[in-house]
Amino acid sequence: MASPGPPEPYPDDAWGDERSPGSIPAVPRPAPILPFTWLARTHAVAAAADAAVTISLAGSLFFDISPDAARGKVALYLLLTMAPFAIVAPFLGPALDRMRGGRRLMIVFTCIGRAVVAALMVMHLDSLLLFPEAFVLLVLMKAYAVSKSALVPTVVTNQKQLVEANSKLGLLAGLAGVAVALPAVAFKLIDVRITLVLAVGVYLYAVVLATHLPRGVVAALPADQAERDELRSAGVVLAASGMALVRATVGFLTFQLAFLLRSEKAAVGWFGVVILFTALGTMVGNAAGPLIRRHLQEERMLMLGFALISIGGVVAAIGGGDASAALLGGAVGASAALARLAFDAIVQRDAPAANRGRAFAQFETRFQLAWVAAALVPVLIPIPRSVGFLIVGVLAAFALLSYMVGWRAIRAGRPLPPRLTERMRAELHRRRHSARRQPRLPPPDPSSRSD
């Protein structure tokens, strides 16, 4: 039997060029996954796990305990959620910004922490330990939001993609939440613990994805004077104040609806309807934001968001039903998404030299503080349904009017009216200064007294 000869060479036309006989064809390398793609995957998976946890809590001990008994606990935990942002963030934030991979490390840590807390919830669904565990989870969610906001500017190729990137992330988060809702509800009908186990697994998958995020430095150097001046410019300050009011509205409405539906013994299904409408509204706002920006200036986008919330609050106050509450949740979700996209665009336009990662992390911290502060109001004070909805509309109308006045002042070249905190600080400084300058009278001379 004849031995086989040398292998036949590959034909030249199979390569498109000449290759040496017997050479092995090169396997084409797959295109590298972009950093933004890794962030988008991580964010979508983490949002799906958050949605699964939210669904699992509906009908749990949160809705069995008396609303009056729960108010004190919720208020305490909300105050505790402010501690990481009010105390830790000013010191830890800059260190994480300058640390190589610091924000990526924070995202990994928050995903691991949420997985651990969700696992503990499986064992404590019928225990009062569920309350502190749920609020630890809330703190981790807020810390994740700050870190994600800081990473977004570092994973886009140019600053013009910033608004589109935030729009895509918001849309993906909404889609992921809707996608996980059906299996989460199905598992909950069997056993609510299965839904929490599902959330644990999804959080751990988010950890794996987060390890692929770039290890870049958000801000290698401390902020210089030019960056500080840009971030304190009139347009940025005005937009940040408006965005803080929007976040305050979201925090107020979230806990107003939670205690309202609970105190009225509404069906658990209504909680799901409100959450669904809010998620759909957020998706619509993120999807429509880039299109609206092509036709409206950024400032007008913010005004549109304020107007939508104001109209929704007044209409819901008149309607007063559960359907009105769901529609108001959708309007607030869409308006908050629009406002966020407009705010990002204003910072991009008016502060081109500022480090976006550091700036957005700082702003996000302030917005979360506004969210918590406004959420404390309906927690501490029982507010009737129509009154609460009307407060939402009035707060948004105040934001709209104050923003319009400020924007016109900027366009006319006039300085912005001082904020309330600035006026209070100036008044305290004036009083201290006048007290120091006031001459002290010498003590009376005893010899000058007349008998």
Assess whether the region 33-222 and the region 225-413 belong to the same CATH fold.
yes
- Give pTM, 2 decimals: 0.73
Q: Select from 367, 407, 419 the least CA-distant residue to 235.
A: 407
Taking residues 270-275, report their average pLDDT. 72
Cα separation, 328 vs 317, whole angstroms: 10
Average pLDDT, the chain: 79
Look at residue 201 and tell me whether its pLDDT is greater than 90. Answer: yes
Taking residues 365-375, report their average pLDDT. 86
Which has more pLDDT, 102 or 270? 102
Q: Supply the CATH classification number for the domain 225-413.
A: 1.20.1250.20
8 Å CB contact between 321 and 265: no
292-300: long-range contacts (C-beta < 8 A, 24 or more apart)? 292/338, 293/163, 293/341, 293/342, 293/345, 298/239, 298/342, 298/345, 298/346, 298/349, 299/235, 299/239, 299/342, 299/346, 299/403, 299/407
Which has more pLDDT, 292 or 446? 292
Look at residue 19 and tell me whether its pLDDT is greater than 60. Answer: no
pLDDT for the residue numbered 69: 63
Least confident of 4-13, 69-78, 219-228, 338-347: 4-13
Q: Binning pLDDT at 50, 70 and 90, where does residue 111 land?
A: very high
Q: Binning pLDDT at 50, 70 and 90, where does residue 431 land?
A: low
Cα separation, 160 vs 345, whole angstroms: 9
Taking residues 168-184, report their average pLDDT. 85
Q: Binning pLDDT at 50, 70 and 90, where does residue 12 land?
A: very low
> How many Cα atoms occupy the beta-carbon half-sphere of 37 within 13 Å?
4
pLDDT for the residue numbered 62: 57
8 Å CB contact between 298 and 176: no
Least confident of 356-370, 381-395, 420-434: 420-434
Look at residue 18 and tell me whether its pLDDT is greater than 50. Answer: no
Least confident of 198-212, 261-275, 327-341: 261-275
pLDDT in tens, 126-151: 777 887 888 888 888 888 888 888 78
* Single-letter code of the amino acid located at 48: A
Q: Binning pLDDT at 50, 70 and 90, where does residue 325 land?
A: confident
Determine how many CB atoms are found less than 10 A away from the CB of residue 407.
21
- pLDDT over 90 for what percent of the chain? 19
Q: Binning pLDDT at 50, 70 and 90, where does residue 368 land?
A: confident
| Residue boundaries of the structural domains of the chain | 33-222, 225-413
Q: Select from 331, 346, 360 the least CA-distant residue to 169.
A: 360
pLDDT for the residue numbered 170: 85
Taking residues 3-29, report their average pLDDT. 50
Residue environment code for 306-329, b if the CB has 16+ CB neighbours within 10 A, otherwise e:
bebbbbbbbebbebeebebbbbbb
Q: Select from 199, 193, 197, 156 the least CA-distant residue to 176.
A: 199
- Rg of the chain taking only CA atoms, in angstroms: 28
Taking residues 317-326, report their average pLDDT. 83
pLDDT for the residue numbered 304: 92
pLDDT in tens, 394-422: 999 999 999 998 888 888 777 766 655 55
Which class would CATH give 33-222?
Answer: mainly alpha
Q: Binning pLDDT at 50, 70 and 90, where does residue 125 land?
A: confident
> How many Cα atoms occupy the beta-carbon half-sphere of 81 within 13 Å?
31
pLDDT in tens, 274-308: 777 888 888 888 888 888 878 888 888 899 999 99
